[in-house]
Copies of this chain bind each other. A is one copy, B any other.
Amino acid sequence: MRTIKVGLIGLGTVGGGVVEIFKNHREDFKRRAGVDIVLAAAADRNTVRFEQLGLDPAICTTDAFAVATDPNLDIVIELIGGTGVAHDVVIAALEAGNVVVTANKALMASAGQEVLGLAEAKGLDIRFEASVGGGIPIIEPLKHSLISNEISSVMGIVNGTTNYMLTRMTENGLDYDTALKEAQAKGFAEADPTADVDGFDAAAKIAILASIAFNSRVTIDQVYTEGIRSLAPSDIDYAKEIGYTVKLLAIARRTDEGIDIRVHPTMIPSGHPLASVSGVFNAIYVVGDFVGETMFFGEGAGAGAAASAVMGDVIEAARALDAGNTVIGCTCVDNLRIRPIDELQDRYYVRMVVHDRPGVLAATATAFAKHGVSVESLIQRSPGEADSAELVYVTHQASEASIREAFEEIRALDSVSEIAALIRVEDI
């Protein structure tokens, strides 16, 4: 049994989890997985972490590139995150002939082609299971167990922060600001919550999932993205009333006109398995032509869960190195079109605040009708303020373009104060 030497770059929370797995399970890995893996180098700018994690000072450095390019290593784990230094570190590691394991969704969703291409050219393995869904096995099952299917859709709750906030808003009636403050206090949200609440984190993840599921490269900038900042408690309540639950859903669908890919608050039927995924949990729902519906559920964040995925990748890579096995490279061989959001055919929930006067209902309904948008249901409410009412429309299937055209007309109406909410309704 050959000893596989691993370098770890980035000793944050996930890095700490990785160190712990090495400590707890190295002997188990020898016996159960048939590989001897040793943590042979570690790098972080914050030298305090070396002692905190009980690392041998002899293997520690502040120089990430020294670890990345270390010729004595076999595998380099990149846990810096982001697309700056992390990008250069990953490229340097591959150039130096080291296998790479990373949890970096931003990197894989933006520079996946460069990184995977270089790995393939070098005949090296690169693995990134931890980049989506924390500890949930999803990238490997898509690449392997489900490969005999043509995947028609992948959709999921892939951001724990916003799912925690939405759960609190739905189950306990919190508003957005209170939910965010609570998530921050509990350590579920960053001081700057932009990446989570504006949907960018979820966008990176669905770009990665779609690339694998559809064998066609999708990058983060191709994902239409809306976050949850403008979501009001009343929209969540109206959704409940009509049997739906609001989730920040990352959606990727294969259609005859290309890949439909987007992240936005979405009303899904409350009976759907995804609707009951609550708190910081994540779940990814996959439909294939033979397998039918499947769902993968688990902890989407946290040191242990992400470290589990990272170390799963490390062990797989180590086994392949030990056996001298050939790496099976990237299979993003198709080149499918990305459908612009205007082409989307969906159902829409629209809440508008109007002046409570005769004709407003007719005027708004006429605007929809004129653009071919057929109405499925309508609720009119007077929330209390004088002269003010709310109209809540749910449309039948309509094109996003026609909805936008109707909106222009509706916004021009004197009797309409604002279109306060637009939420897409998915009857999955």
Contacts and interface: CB of A to CB of B under 8 A. Distances in A.
Interface of A: 17, 20-21, 24-25, 28-29, 31-34, 129, 135-137, 140-141, 144-150, 215, 273, 276, 288-299, 302, 304-305, 307-312, 314-316, 319-320, 323-326, 328, 331, 333-334
Contact of A325 (B276, B296, B326, B333): B326
Given A140-B144, A316-B144, A289 B326 contact: no
Contacts of A290: 17, 20-21, 135, 304-305, 307-308, 311
B297 A294 contact: yes
A299 B291 contact: yes
Contacts of A333: 31-32
16 contacts: A24-B289, A33-B147, A34-B328, A135-B288, A137-B141, A137-B145, A144-B316, A145-B312, A146-B312, A147-B316, A148-B308, A276-B276, A291-B298, A291-B308, A291-B309, A295-B296
Given A215-B32, A328-B323, A298 B308 contact: no
Given A32-B147, A307-B290, A334-B31, A326 B328 contact: no
A270 to B, nearest CB: 11
- Most chain B beta carbons < 10 A, residue from A292, A307, A333: A292
A428 to B, nearest CB: 14
How many identical chains are in the complex?
2
A20 B149 CA distance: 11
A294 B289 contact: no
Given A315-B147, A325-B323, A137 B307 contact: no
B324 A326 contact: yes
Contact of A296 (B31, B140, B294): B294
A297 B273 contact: yes
A150 B28 contact: yes
Nearest to A37: B148
Contacts of A28: 150
